[in-house]
Structure 1
Amino acid sequence: MSTQPTQPQRLTPAPARPPAPNPAPDPADERIPVRRLAPLAVQHVLAMAAAPVSTVFLTAGALRLSAAATAALLSSVLVLSGAGSLLQSLGVWKFGARLPFVMLPGGAATALFLQIAKDHGPAVASGSVLMAAALLLAVVPLYARIVRLFPPLVMGVTVLLIGIAMIRVAAQLIGGPTGNPAPRAVVLAGLTVAVTLAAYLLLRGVWRQSAVLIGMAAGTVLAVTTGLGTYSPVTGSGFSVPHLFPYGAPRFDLVAALPLLVFSLTTLAEITGQTVLNSETVGRAADTGRDVPKVARADALTSLFAGVLGTSLMVTSSENIGISRLTGVRSRYVTAAAGALLIVLGLLSPLSRAVAGLPPAVVGGSALVVYAVIALMGVRMLARAELGEGSQSMVASLALAVGLLPILAPNLYGGFPGWVRTVLGSGVVAGTLAAVLLHALFRAADRPARTAAGGVPHPSTTP
């Protein structure tokens, strides 16, 4: 046996792997120099300013608020819009998806808020906002289950009914307290709509998105120069501080709050769509399970403050997406800067006091445009529901009929108990509940046929 030690085997080192390339930076996280950030932020503010201004004046007209109260409410809404945009863009803990989102008062939610205020008083409406915001915050963990109740079919019915109801409210704003408007008020509202339409047709980019604001400004000038209306800004200067509980202590009525409670649940479907759209815009893979709850929490938290400050639910909006596509800048720091600018504008008393003097007919004309667009959004959602399929068209038809009845015949349920009048007397609630129940009923009835056909559900019956 050999006693010589064995030579150790010499190992050839493996060739070094090239370092992995650094991943491409996320466009949403791009840092923008201040000299470019400011004008980009201004563009976003111009694109989104029409929503808070029109919402405030629609609310002020419906609730017969004084000019001073209107100025304070405008200050509150601008501050809320700015704070919500900051929260969604920058994100804090589990609140905000850190995407270039802006937040605005929800037009559809405002319609429901005003309906509750008309039937039960503004204090009950404020309490309803607080309850709806708390409900949205509580159901976020159940997001995946709840969102199935509101496919495009149900959402389309809901949004279309909200738009129709809101057009009626805007018409009442033009008509004044008596509902019998002077011809000059109708003419002034018509001229405002005409200028808005002309601005939308002739302008491009951010100016086109500001068509509603341009219509308001031109309508006010026409009112003053032709005598069709008056412009009476509120006197004062300095800074404006939002008023807490402007209608008094909120009152909580579960039945009265039902329209906003149902709507807060439907917003989960809308938030999902907004999140996917915004993610695609910035070139980020949409992760709805991660991002949608963060967006919903930020909406709910901001809406809690909205209830305290006297306005309706705040919602994350895609109104700024067109600006992102136009400029090619997809950084969330731009929308954060726009949010900071909105807060500053909201605290500047001269601005809110000047806007508070707009003629009601001008605001009513602008509101007609805004809420007609909401109705059209509902039509587009229904178009995605494949209404050519028999059960889908039947669900939409019956749900719209149920929702339109109280709008066309307001006294239809006058002889019923109060809670019945509250539920069925709201076209939005009645139509939405009918759509949810009928959609579930038809889907359950079609399940045996789908199973016999191979177990593959038709896409139009799948939420």
Structure 2
Amino acid sequence: MPVSPDDPGAVHPVDESRPLGRILLFGVQHVLVMAATPISAIFLMSATLRLSPGITVDLLSAALLLSGIGSLVQSLGPWKFGPRLPFVMLPGGAPLILFLSIAQQHGLRTATGAVLLTAVFAFLVLPLFARLLRFFPPLVIGTMIVIVGVNLVKVGALLVTGQPGTPGFADPVRLGMAFATIALIVVFTRLLRGILRQLAVLLGLAAGTALAFALGQVHPGAALSGQLVGVPRPLPFGAPVFDVLASLPLMLYSLASMAEATGQTVINAEAVGKDIDVRTEVPRTVRGDALTSLLGGCFGLPLMVTSGENIGIVRVTGVRSRYVTAAAGVVLVALGFLTPVARTISVMPSAVVGGAAMVVFAVITVLGVQMLARARLEDHTATVTCAVALALGLLPILVPGVYAGFPSDVRILLESGVAVGAFVAAVLNVVFHHLGRRAANTGAAVPTEAPGSTAGV
């Protein structure tokens, strides 16, 4: 329930502290759903760039450590960093692909320098970006969140099926494990009450893993090998090389990442029922991203970004406290030093993780649809804005390789469906509601508060 404005002494659920044991349990639930992302990102880096096992272990420890630090920054919000919302931070996605591209063309030291330059660039352009936030009303953000959700569902589905054309693609056993995990989450949600119902995703992951073990799909031996404690090594590739031209694609992407951070901040506030001033809180999110990326670059990592994935867990469980994601941050920091625990998580079958992730990620799409429902889509211009942005934003997601004939730098930007969708929606919103006529109420209202805000009423 939203906190009543007539009760100034009440604590909003997002700021509510819970018993330590419960907070840790909920935090572990976040980690188990998210851990596949940093682990798979580092494994992809290692395989693509043919890194040594020692560097791979260092990068994995650093990825978990910086994911934890970033989650703590975004959740606790020290000084002007972090919006004090239940966020987690992860490497991966388009920033990882850009990092690999720069590394292959210009070397790993230049790729590291590009991450550091981009983090500084984000700090420099943030004041200008904050002035443009009035062009991101609920119509634009809702469209962007739908694209984010669809893209994440695809990510979860690929964890289950594997990549098309690879051996074992869409193996019936893996599909069966994923569907069983989804069914178990539904059963736990239906039958359990209280804290156990809120832990339905965690219980589904545990039950799905137990089923996979019974089917011979879990091989725990790898979790027992290797050293007990690992400390990530700074600058594993050597001193960074700063090349502005080589860094340009990553800098341009950071602008799209800011737009995505805008949508995630608004939808996160929406999920926890908190009224926020977008022009204040979005810059805090971006600063948290930039700070964590700056630290991550010192350990050889790609850009770190706020993750929309955990927003689905918040909505599914109903647990809105930012201290839960702060606890997840503490767990991730610990995992960064305890390598056997990280290996244990990596042993969890990807089909099981993917099945749970598909449910959690689909909730994000639902949140986007809910936001669009308040954008008065009965207005023809709003309908056209949403339709065109969805069509172009979903195109690279639904038809992989559609831009294969374009230059590599341009292709990487176009293949970010979220960036394309946000850009198209924002431009069309300006065309229809800001150029040559008075802004219409359907999409041009300045989003100084998150949708649902009672400010000024």
Q: Distance in 2 between matches of 1:272 and 1:133?
A: 22
Note the 1:268-307 alignment, pairs <5 A: 268-271=262-265, 274=268, 293-307=283-297
- Could you tell me which amino acid in structure 2 is paired with residue 112 of structure 1? A
Q: Are the equivalent residues in 1 in contact too, given 2:160–2:175 (CA < 8 A)?
A: yes
Q: Paired residue for 2:213, among 224, 227, 234?
A: 224
Matched residue count: 420
Q: Paired residue for 2:389, among 382, 392, 399?
A: 399
CA change 1:390–1:322 in 2 (3 A) is closer
Which residue pairs with 2:69 in the alignment? Answer: 83
Note the 1:433-444 alignment, pairs <5 A: 433-444=423-434
Q: Are the equivalent residues in 2 in contact too, given 1:153–1:382 (CA < 8 A)?
A: yes
- Could you tell me which amino acid in structure 1 is paired with residue 135 of structure 2? L
CA change 1:388–1:131 in 2 (3 A) is farther
Deviation per residue, 1:149-178 (Å, 9 max, x gap) = 322222222232233233334333333464
Identify the range of structure 1 (397-406 vs 368-377) with the bigger mean alpha-carbon deviation: 368-377
Computed over aligned residues only, the root mean square deviation of the Cα atoms, in angstroms, reads 4.3
Q: Are the equivalent residues in 1 in contact too, given 2:260–2:418 (CA < 8 A)?
A: no
- Could you tell me which amino acid in structure 2 is paired with residue 407 of structure 1? I
Which residue pairs with 1:145 in the alignment? Answer: 131
Note the 1:329-348 alignment, pairs <5 A: 339-340=329-330, 342-348=332-338
Q: Does 1:111 align with 2:93?
A: yes
Identify the range of structure 1 (46-55 vs 67-76) with the bigger mean alpha-carbon deviation: 67-76
Q: Does 1:212 align with 2:212?
A: no
Which residue pairs with 2:34 in the alignment? Answer: 52
Q: Does 1:430 align with 2:413?
A: no
Q: Paired residue for 2:166, among 176, 179, 182?
A: 179
CA change 1:426–1:37 in 2 (3 A) is closer
Q: Distance in 2 between matches of 1:128 and 1:383?
A: 40
Q: Distance in 2 between matches of 1:207 and 1:69?
A: 40
Q: CA deviation at 1:396?
A: 0.7
Q: Distance in 2 between matches of 1:325 and 1:169?
A: 24
Q: Does 1:458 align with 2:441?
A: yes
CA change 1:232–1:160 in 2 (3 A) is farther
Q: Are the equivalent residues in 2 in contact too, given 1:132–1:261 (CA < 8 A)?
A: no
Q: Does 1:195 align with 2:181?
A: no
Q: CA deviation at 1:388?
A: 1.5
Q: CA deviation at 1:217?
A: 2.4
User: Helix, strand or coil for the counterpart of 1:238?
Assistant: coil
Percent of aligned positions that are identical:
34
CA change 1:200–1:37 in 2 (3 A) is closer
Which residue pairs with 2:231 in the alignment? Answer: 241
**Scaled by the length of structure 2, what TM-score is found?**
0.73
Identify the range of structure 1 (353-362 vs 228-237) with the bigger mean alpha-carbon deviation: 228-237
Q: CA deviation at 1:225?
A: 0.9
Q: Distance in 2 between matches of 1:325 and 1:402?
A: 33
Deviation per residue, 1:303-328 (Å, 9 max, x gap) = 3224444355343876897899869x
User: Helix, strand or coil for the counterpart of 1:438?
Assistant: helix
Deviation per residue, 1:100-133 (Å, 9 max, x gap) = x444125xx7433355467666869877765554
Q: Gapped runs of 5+ residues in structure 1?
A: 1-22, 451-455
Deviation per residue, 1:383-411 (Å, 9 max, x gap) = 23221211111011111111222233334
Q: Distance in 2 between matches of 1:404 and 1:308?
A: 34
Q: Paired residue for 2:353, among 351, 363, 367?
A: 363
Which residue pairs with 1:38 in the alignment? Answer: 20
